């Protein structure tokens, strides 16, 4: 349920947003809208006897778009024979056949599946001699000009605000060139290369001016980890420090965001600052918690003047004075706090954990209390997490197995010795970023499963309470996964049908930089759609990167110092992730350190609001199946692009030059 007015988004946001921006509840809406726009361009240009020139991007952001275009080609006859493409960038040096190559990515994910002419495909070369790069870049620009310029350019955005690989310091006038990659960009890419040291330090990229020359530009961003840079790109001043801000000067550019990426926009975080709102309880809590933080006063000490001086006059007018409002919000906040006695007891519960450590990292305190309360509890580990095990961990276990074999007389010891030799040989010759051999993948899976069992045993649970689903989508051996398929859903559904849970816990994390949490969430939601039993209550926890804000949380679970220590001990059982995890994101702290800070930080926030003081807290959002999990206050567009009869993008939206004819959502 939205708590905003039905005023079109652009009208309320135009004070702050400097580029037309659309928000969807989920990425799928964006991918379909963009694919539809591309399909229209191809068809209309083809009817006029003209080629369509596309500027394309790589990475997870555009994959859904390419999947829709492939479907349109196969099912609707969308013809790509008149399409010319130019990709944004490529690492340097990089062989075209490398698993990290954008050349290989584009052919595997798009070009191999449509009838585009190979001669019409242009991708920067990462395998040319360094002395030829400058000439190649001039030729790339000339090829774009000869094609008539780019009709439609797809962009993502990096955490530095780069578009393409135009890192901080890139000029508005820059063209295709060699660039040095920012340390943040390389760290962000480390997971794809199985370590930052394997990420190239340079790349070839189209320049800002090359991108700005496109007749139409769309930038797509998803996930909360993109929210801070998205706000800067949309609301900040144009600056070479954030190349995406230059898009504000483009006459026909649009940002498409999911709710998570839009979370820091002013109209989302503090909508009362940019326009009138219709006050509901959720938005009231959000506003009062924000005001408490701004004024550094507890809720019950806020006065009428605080509200009037901070854009909240309409809220105080609804209640007449601060006292009644403060009391209502204070009571709503304190009702969220649930100790062990107020938590589920004697229920059938399934906890879904995307990786083998997310359960203890994100809800170790809750897990312990649920076990103490006598619930019939199953922890379902959705993936093996095997790509997140360093090779040196495997070598440590190989040494253990050698000594184990030597210490006991075992039947089949020769088979063990042969396996050890094969694994040793592979690891000794393995290239950086190379996909592990099946035997190595199996060993890494076993390592993580053993750690997961040890983790739940910390709370007194039995090893049989851990279930390892090994969903097929994850079993690629690479960071890039397959889409969630029928078999993934079937495995989750089988568990639901077997256990018949009254309550489930799911990772509702929207900050996971590699998307596994999102895909695991999709598998659970799709299984619930097919589930024959009564829909269970769903409690969403966050992953290793972030906690639910106090205003958004439905349940706050306090932990004592001893309980937090037990939770951290369970995290310690995951030795392969300790000291230095393979996929830490941009936060170099160990997982237990992040947990300690986030759980004690939530408790400090609760204390600052004037509620009871606790040592630490976990936060949860509770929903029934079918309800959105977060960002309910965001006004979202359907992104169903309603073109005029001629199929053109149409005129500007309200108050926005160069906007699109996009149907905007009304209050839900």
Within 13 A of 369's CA, how many CA atoms are on the CB side?
Answer: 20
* Alpha-carbon 287 to chain mean position: 26
Q: How many residues does the chain have?
A: 668
CA nearest neighbour of 56 among 107, 91, 99 = 107
Residue of 389, 399, 400, 516 lying closest to 447 (CA atoms): 389
Residue 342: count of CB within 10 angstroms of its CB: 11
Task: Yes or no: say if 39 and 78 are a contact pair by the CB < 8 Å rule.
Answer: yes
CA 448 to chain centroid, in Å, comes to 23
Q: State how far the Cα of 54 lies from the Cα of 211, in Å rounded to an integer.
A: 11
Residue with tokens 């996930």: 223
Beta bridge partners of 541: 507
Q: Residue 619 in 3-state DSSP?
A: strand
Distance, CA of 8 to CA of 26 (rounded, Å): 19
Whether residue 311 contacts residue 294, with contact meaning beta carbons closer than 8 Å, is answered with no
Q: Which residues are catalytic?
A: 167
Sequence-distant (≥ 6) Cβ neighbours of residue 316 within 8 angstroms: 304, 307, 308, 322, 325
Residue labelled with tokens 């840079």:
229
Rounded Cα distance between 256 and 551, Å, is 26
And the tokens for 221? 């961003």
Determine the straight-line distance between the first and last CA of the chain, rounded to whole angstroms: 5
């Amino acid at each position: 349920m939205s708590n905003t007015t039905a005023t079109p988004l652009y009208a309320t946001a135009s004070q702050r947003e400097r580029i037309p921006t659309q928000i969807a509840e989920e990425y799928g809406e964006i991918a379909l809208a963009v694919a539809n726009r591309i399909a229209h361009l191809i068809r209309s240009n083809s009817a006029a006897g003209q080629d369509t020139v596309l500027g394309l991007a790589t990475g997870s952001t555009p994959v859904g778009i390419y999947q829709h275009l492939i479907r349109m080609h196969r099912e609707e006859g969308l013809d790509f024979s008149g399409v010319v493409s130019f990709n944004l960038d490529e690492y340097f040096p990089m062989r075209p056949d490398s698993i990290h190559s954008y050349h290989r990515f584009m052919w595997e994910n798009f070009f191999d599946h449509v009838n585009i002419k190979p001669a019409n495909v242009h991708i920067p070369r990462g395998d040319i001699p360094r002395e030829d790069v400058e000439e190649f870049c001039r030729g790339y620009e000339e090829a774009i000009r000869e094609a008539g310029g780019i009709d439609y350019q797809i962009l993502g955005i990096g955490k530095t605000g780069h578009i393409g690989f135009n890192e901080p310091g890139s000029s508005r006038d820059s063209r295709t060139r060699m660039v040095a990659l920012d340390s943040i960009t390389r760290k962000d890419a480390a997971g794809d290369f199985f370590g930052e040291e394997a990420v190239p330090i340079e790349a070839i990229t189209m320049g800002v001016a090359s991108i700005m020359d496109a007749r139409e530009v769309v930038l797509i961003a998803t996930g909360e980890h993109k929210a801070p840079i998205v706000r800067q790109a949309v609301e900040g001043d144009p600056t070479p420090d954030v190349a995406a801000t230059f898009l504000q000067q483009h006459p026909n550019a649009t940002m498409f965001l999911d709710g998570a990426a839009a979370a820091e926009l002013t109209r989302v975080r503090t909508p009362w600052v940019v326009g009138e709102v219709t006050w509901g309880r959720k938005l009231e809590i959000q506003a009062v918690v924000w005001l408490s933080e701004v004024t550094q006063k507890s809720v019950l000490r806020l006065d009428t003047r605080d509200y009037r001086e901070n854009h909240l006059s309409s809220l105080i007018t609804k209640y007449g004075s601060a006292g009644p409002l403060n009391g209502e919000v204070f009571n709503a906040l304190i009702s969220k706090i649930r100790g062990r006695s107020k938590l589920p007891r004697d229920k059938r519960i399934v906890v879904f954990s995307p990786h083998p450590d997310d359960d203890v990292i994100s809800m170790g305190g809750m897990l312990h209390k649920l076990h103490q309360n006598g619930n019939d509890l199953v922890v379902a580990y959705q993936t093996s997490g095997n790509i997140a095990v360093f090779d040196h961990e495997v070598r440590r276990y190989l040494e253990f197995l050698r000594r184990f074999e030597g210490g006991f007389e075992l039947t089949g010891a020769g088979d063990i010795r042969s396996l050890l030799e094969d694994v040793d040989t592979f690891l000794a010759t393995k290239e950086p970023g190379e996909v592990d051999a099946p035997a190595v993948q199996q060993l890494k899976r076993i390592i993580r499963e053993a750690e997961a069992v040890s983790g739940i045993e910390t709370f007194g649970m039995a090893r049989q309470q851990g279930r390892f689903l090994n969903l097929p989508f994850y079993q690629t051996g690479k960071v890039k996964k397959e889409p969630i398929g029928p078999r993934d859903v079937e495995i989750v559904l089988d568990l639901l049908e077997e256990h018949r849970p009254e309550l489930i816990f799911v990772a509702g994390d929207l900050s996971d930089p590699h998307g596994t949490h999102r895909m695991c969430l999709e598998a659970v939601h799709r299984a619930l759609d097919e589930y024959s039993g009564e829909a269970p209550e769903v409690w969403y926890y966050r992953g290793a990167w972030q906690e639910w804000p106090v205003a958004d949380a439905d349940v706050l679970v306090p932990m004592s110092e001893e309980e937090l220590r037990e939770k951290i001990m369970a995290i310690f059982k995951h030795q392969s992730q300790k000291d230095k995890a393979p996929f830490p994101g941009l936060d170099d702290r160990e997982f237990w350190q992040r947990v300690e800070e986030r759980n004690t930080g939530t408790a400090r926030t609760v204390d600052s609001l004037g509620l009871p003081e606790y040592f630490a807290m976990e936060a949860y959002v509770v929903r029934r199946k079918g309800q959105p999990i977060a960002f309910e206050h965001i006004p979202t567009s359907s992104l169903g692009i309603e073109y005029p009869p001629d199929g053109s993008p149409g005129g500007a939206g309200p108050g926005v030059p160069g906007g699109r004819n996009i149907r905007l959502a009304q209050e839900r």
